[in-house]
């Protein structure tokens, strides 16, 4: 009798989170918001299987591409809002907090932003005017609908120097301050974020801490820092990653993990960070698991997920959101970046939309 009770209770406890249909947001949501980046294939075209996963696991959403400058405004004064509007409707329908990504970024910027029709570079005053106009247009249209905005994305190099982007080259370092001030006025109710990759690097960490202090000193609001977290199997260094969380929190802002995924494939030696302009030629040796992940590697990947979520658990009081950069492995940008045409396994749902077993371990960790 005793033995059968024991067996029953073992069987019951192994019926962990999945059988009870518990979602990530139900448990992790007690500590921070749990988000996902979605493509227009899901938000505009419709995908019932994806919707079911979103409904169960997430309470925040960000558009993977369609809020970006090059997508919304192909020519000066011309805005195409269809796709972005669909994301807003999707967020409302599925009761998701909506994040706006992103307003000021050198990549995927509006094509016309930095030059006149004749190809000459715009003046400092003109670029400030265009940047402000873009911020006001986006934030004005979605006022009260977007919870928080990545105001500036990727303004620093890993060593902490300013990135020599057109915004920096033409306006100077003040472009960041001007962008935040404009955003704060455009929608005083929205949270404002600085977002970047390789935020565990000490040089970048220091530069971002300095930026936060400077903005605050000027009376400009910044609510959180986004650590993108396009992570790998051997980067970032976990101690550095934790040190960055502590350092940002010590400046009086929350920390968000805004673009979490794990690149499980081997990388060329020169590869680092997450600059989308960084690409390499396809070679078979960089695509070793096209037929599936060997169990041993899957275990290492699971351990890596747990290492990150253990950090998020420990630092939960400093964190306001963790967003995964995509739903399933099939849609992940990691299949095509930094090398096109690979089979990657960087997210928590597999190519068939099945939750990976590690999800239950993550849920148990926060239970
Ligand atoms: C990526 C998208 O996932 C891709 O679909 C697109 O082709 C390029 O951009 N940092 C960011 C994100 O801030 O906007 C990028 O998203 C990934 C790196």
Among 337, 338, 339, 344, say which to mutate for ligand 1: greatest number of ligand atoms within 8 Å of CB.
Answer: 337
Q: What is the pLDDT of residues 71-124, one digit of tens each?
A: 999 999 999 999 999 999 999 999 999 999 999 999 999 989 999 999 999 999
Closest of 208, 312, 210, 207 to residue 258, by C-alpha: 312
The reported pLDDT for the residue numbered 21 is: 81
Q: Which two tokens stand for residue 5?
A: 């009770």
Classify the phi-psi angles of 35: left when phi > 0, otherwise alpha if psi is within -120 to 50, otherwise beta. Answer: beta
Tell which one of 64, 103, 335, 341 to mutate to probe ligand 1, the residue whose CB is within 8 A of the most ligand atoms. 64
pLDDT tens per residue across span 136-173: 999 999 999 999 999 999 999 999 999 999 999 999 99
The three-class DSSP label of residue 116 is coil
Name the nearest CA neighbour of 251 among 290, 303, 194, 308.
194
Nearest alpha-carbon partner for 155 in 128, 134, 179, 135: 179
184 CA to centre of ligand 1 in angstroms: 25
Query: What long-range pairs does 45-52 form, CB within 8 A, spacing at least 24?
Result: 49/353, 50/327, 50/328, 50/353, 51/94
Pocket of ligand 1 (CB under 6 A): 64-65, 153, 228, 259, 274, 276, 333
| pLDDT exceeds cutoff 50 at 33 | yes
pLDDT digits (tens, 9 = 90+) for 39-63: 999 999 999 999 999 999 999 999 9
Q: Quick one: CA torsion of 231, 235, 236, 238, rounded to 10 degrees?
A: 110
| 154 among known catalytic residues | yes
Q: Span 24-265+282-366: which CATH code?
A: 3.20.20.80
pLDDT at 13: 47
pLDDT at 10 over 60: no
Alpha-carbon span 162 to 157, nearest angstrom: 6
Residue tagged active-site, from 242, 259, 281, 310: 259
Tell me, in angstroms, the distance from the centre of ligand 1 to residue 103's CA.
Answer: 14
In contact, 113 and 130? CB cutoff 8 Å: yes
Predicted structure pTM score = 0.95
Residue 4's pLDDT band (cuts 50, 70, 90):
low
> Residue 15: pLDDT above 80?
no
pLDDT at 12: 47
pLDDT digits (tens, 9 = 90+) for 295-350: 999 999 999 999 999 999 999 999 999 999 999 999 999 999 999 999 999 999 99
Is residue 126 among the annotated active site residues?
no
Choice between 291 and 8, residue whose per-residue pLDDT is larger: 291
Can you give the pLDDT at residue 313? 98
Which listed residue (64, 70, 154, 310) is catalytic? Answer: 154
């Amino acid at each position: 009798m005793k033995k059968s009770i024991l067996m029953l209770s073992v069987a019951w406890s192994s019926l962990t989170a999945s059988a009870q249909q518990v979602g990530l947001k139900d448990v992790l949501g007690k500590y921070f918001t749990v988000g996902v980046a979605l493509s227009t294939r899901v938000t505009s075209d419709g995908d019932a299987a994806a919707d079911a996963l979103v409904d169960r696991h997430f309470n925040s959403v960000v558009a993977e591409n369609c809020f970006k400058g090059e997508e919304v405004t192909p020519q000066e004064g011309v805005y195409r809002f269809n796709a972005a509007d669909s994301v807003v409707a999707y967020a409302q329908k599925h009761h998701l907090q909506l994040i706006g990504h992103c307003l000021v970024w050198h990549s995927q910027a509006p094509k016309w932003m930095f030059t006149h029709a004749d190809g000459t570079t715009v003046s400092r005053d003109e670029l400030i005017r265009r940047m402000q106009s873009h911020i006001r247009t986006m934030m004005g249209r979605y006022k009260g609908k977007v919870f928080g905005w990545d105001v500036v994305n990727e303004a620093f190099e890993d060593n902490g120097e300013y990135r020599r982007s057109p915004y920096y080259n033409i306006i100077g370092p003040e472009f960041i301050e001007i962008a935040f001030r404009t955003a704060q006025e455009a929608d005083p109710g929205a949270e404002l974020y600085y977002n970047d990759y390789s935020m565990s690097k000490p040089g970048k960490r220091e530069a971002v801490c300095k930026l936060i202090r400077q903005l605050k000193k000027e009376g400009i609001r910044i609510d959180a820092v986004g650590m993108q977290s396009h992570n790998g199997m051997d980067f970032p260094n976990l101690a550095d990653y934790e040190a960055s969380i502590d350092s940002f929190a010590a400046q009086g802002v929350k920390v968000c993990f805004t673009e979490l995924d794990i690149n499980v494939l081997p990388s060329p030696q020169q590869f680092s960070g997450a600059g989308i302009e960084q690409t390499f030629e396809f070679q078979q040796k960089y695509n070793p698991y096209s037929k599936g992940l060997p169990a041993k590697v899957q275990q290492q990947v699971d351990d890596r997920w747990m290492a990150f979520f253990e950090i998020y658990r420990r630092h939960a009081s400093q964190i306001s959101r963790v967003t995964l950069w995509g739903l399933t492995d099939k849609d992940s940008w990691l299949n095509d970046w930094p090398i096109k045409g690979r089979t990657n396994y960087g997210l928590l749902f597999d190519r068939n939309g099945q939750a990976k077993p590690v999800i239950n371990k993550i849920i148990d960790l926060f239970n």
